[in-house]
Amino acid sequence: MTLNERRTALIFGGARGISAASARKLAEDGFDVAFTYVSRPDRASELVSEIEAGGQRAIAIQADSADPQAIEAAVRTTVEKLGAIDTVVVNAGILRTNMVGEVSLEELDLMIDVNIRGVFLAIQAAAAKMKDGGRIITIGSNTAERTGMQGASVYQFTKAAVAAMIKGLALDLAPRHITVNNVQPGPTDTDMNAGALEYLSGRSPMKRVAHPSEIAELVSYLAGPGSSYMTGSSLTIDGGWVL
């Protein structure tokens, strides 16, 4: 494969959970992969080594998705080291739970900054350096459509905002044949849910939570040629969660 034939994916969202699973799967699909992380450089380094051992190039970029300059720098670094972007996956997000009367302004602003503003800015920056015909994939949440849980109202509305956002972005980028789609997982075995896996499994019709690799399979489909006519869609993958 020549340099001009290589495909590049940029993943915003860390070296763990759904982001790491998506990085592994896209590398398996033949992408060189750049990914951002905020903490745990040891895990980031391990993921880079794992992908490189499989024959693909990989770079880890420390970047906070609440920082617009860090987002732009991540895109710039990816292009400089791996080439123009074919696929971007935006999985950066945070969850803070509090009942409505206890939500602080700082907590509210942080979730909006990362879960909404950061998603938009990542797409804006990446699209400017993306090949025509590329793929943009956001990782939202089934709470955009399902009832969530007490104390998660802010998180829930940020994920509903992402589901609405991608519809307009899909229209903006359609002339370039860039598709924009949103994956909405239900509870998944990630660090975010580490303390509640038993509870969440009990509420699931399938009596389990998702494995990150199952979410990554849907990311892989949306990054591939078979999804070329799908855009502006939110795809829920939550084991039939009904509450």
Catalytic residues: 155
Q: Strand pairing partners for 85?
A: 130
Query: CB-based contacts of 154: which residues, under 8 Å, 6+ apart?
Result: 96, 98, 103, 107, 108, 111, 112
- Rounded to 5 degrees, φ, ψ at 129 are -115, 15
CA distances from 141 to 12, 32, 77, 227 (A): 16, 26, 29, 20
Inter-residue contact 116 to 158 (CB < 8 Å)? yes
Rounded Cα gap, residues 243 and 185, in angstroms: 14
